[in-house]
Structure 1
Amino acid sequence: MSVTRTSTVVILGSTGSIGTQGLDVISRHPERFVVTGLAAGGAHVELLARQAAQFHVPRVAIFDQAKVPALREALAQAGAQDVAVSAGREAVVAMAGSGADVVLNGITGSIGLEPSIAALRASSQLALANKESVVAGGHLLFDSQVRANQINPVDSEHSAIWQSLRSGTHAEVAKLVVTASGGPFRGWHRADMAQITPEQALHHPTWNMGPVVTINSSTLMNKGLEVIEASRLFDIPPDRIAVTVHPQSIVHSMVEFVDGATICQASPPDMRLPIALGLSAPERMDNVAAACDWTQAASWTFEPLDDEAFPAVQLARHCLSASEKHAAVLNAANEQAVHAFLDHRLPYLGIVDTVKAVLDEMDAELRGNPLFADVEEMNQIELEARRLADDLIDKQ
């Protein structure tokens, strides 16, 4: 009888959607995991304190240094006053690089890049849900002593591709097929989208996610970022990555092989499945998520993507072909535009329009030297893109 080794785990973004579901998975398998650290932004210190108490975590870190007193008070109230507290960007990066067996990165945004790099350099297995690490970081992530088997994709689409790729060699892959639910505005024409509100856009038909990812899913920018991520994670050129709209969100993505066979990964929409595999790979755990009920009638449909109504995927493909700096600017400008939309400072159609305008403005500069020298240069390019996006938003 084989004995499964206990793995130490650090969770980044523990109070967000990925982090809370990751801890739920771990709570079902206490014999397999020991949580050695939690990190979060600092907006939900009470929840962070409860997590630290429940999982007997020895240390926590938050980005927002001003929230340290509130966090200490919350820890005391939760009966976890002995937990070590650190704060600031450096503290979160240090926790990521602390040498845990697995680091689950559920941070939203490109601030997750440095923690991803730190985890890889510490030889941790990186369960990666922070797609911006791949999109914005480019070679900075993959040149950081990363081994081919060191990243476990946690995005449902990339986990599905990762699982399906077990069916053949890299040379046998003809195409990756990334599925999209189509979001709440599937079937809408662009002319109908001018008056869309944040409340409408936040109502996703199949997934329960954080606000930024949910808005990205409604514009299909999320799918554009996933095309970039798939190309870099699996070393497949963008012209061999297709996107298909699958409203039921049961088939999470597919791999087409050279002989005509297509392998898919199918399951009801539940992020605990890819999170669990990200934590335990190459093994699978039981008691994770419900499977499809094959005794019930069901229909799965697939539709072509409407690039006119949802131009974000084509814009992402352009950036992927142009340079890694273009991809970082795409991500940074989009983050600014999404926040402005959520704050009612930008119309819905203005999100992708603003991103395109920023890319057009910075195109010549980005093409001059397409690779980042280091993380600091990436941060500076992103800062420039954010400032330009903000300027364009203020003028609208």
Structure 2
Amino acid sequence: MGDQTSNVAALSKVMNKAKPYLAIISLQFGFAGMYILSTITLKHGMSNFILATYRHVVATIVIAPFAIVLERKIRPKMTLPIFLRIVALGILEPVLDQNCYYMGMKLTNATYSSAFVNMLPAVTFVLAVIFRLEKVDMKKIRSVAKIVGTLITVVGAMVMTLYKGPIINFFKSGGGTHHATTGESAEQHLVVGTIVLLGSIVSWSGFFILQSFTLKKYPAKLSLTAWICFMGMMQDGLLSLIFVRDFNAWKIGFDSRLLAASYSGIVCSGMAYYVQGIVIQERGPVFVTSFSPLCMIITAALGAFILAEKVHLGSILGAIIIVSGLYTVVWGKAKDGKQSETDEKSNGLQELPTTDNARPMVTIDGTAKAVDIPASNNSFSTRGT
């Protein structure tokens, strides 16, 4: 019976450690699906501003009821500084990041735009170091691993983006004519698309950093998610009214537009903001962004299968490099976690409190207990008599 209990406890401990990894990897599959659906919708003429607006309308409708009911007792009081941070979060991710990304995707394609997501860990790592959310000690192997791993993922992204090589035919498709036209359009707008995508990555990195600080003041994750989605809906709606003068563009039916807005709103805004907030509190923003290179690999595979996008040898080589860099970063972050646990244990054993009658305290099984220790040999003779 005791062996079964210990096995269950060990399994539970392993699952708890694996939860952040499983959660972030699952999100990468969710983001990959969003990139494919958004590419189809934008190529059919939907405005990126309207898509972003509808996305956050759906996210607000889905998340807000859960936040109102489940966090009614733990929700902190809203203050002006917190509200201003939420407004800034709405500008950074729902407005700047998503609209820049959609515009860059429209000018290029799903695979190329998702390749730029690999810049996210590097930019986030730099910002985290600047704002002291991440410690760098070049004498520690774990810090060197995080830096080297981040650089490797960037190199992999560059290989995947700049080197094409021969076409690898994984899936036979009849979409050659379509992609010849798409390729010509992407080449014409490649420079502008690249600049816009870089702006998207910087905004997204800033969002993760600000979200980390905001969660310390406003730890109600569901409520914070609902507020971000609501602010994104309002701000994107205002931009849509300014830049899209044709009201017919707002029409939406049971088609790819509705599917893209619903899917991205529920999975990539509502669920993603919430899950990222949980993992950020536990592991930090760098850990969350370290898995973003996986999204490009998944998107490339889906793009080849669904959109008949051509897969080049450079994409495969870049994917291999990216995975190796990702593994290096995750290894360094895992060592960080073990080091923090060791520091907490050592700090707990440094200075033990004593009671008023000078009975020293010792830690037994994690609990501080008072013990009687004789002051001298005379006490032994006194108690012995």
TM-score where L is the length of structure 1: 0.24
Which has the higher Rg, Structure 1 or Structure 2?
2
TM-score where L is the length of structure 2: 0.24
Query: Higher strand share goes to which structure?
Result: 1
Query: Higher helix share goes to which structure?
Result: 2
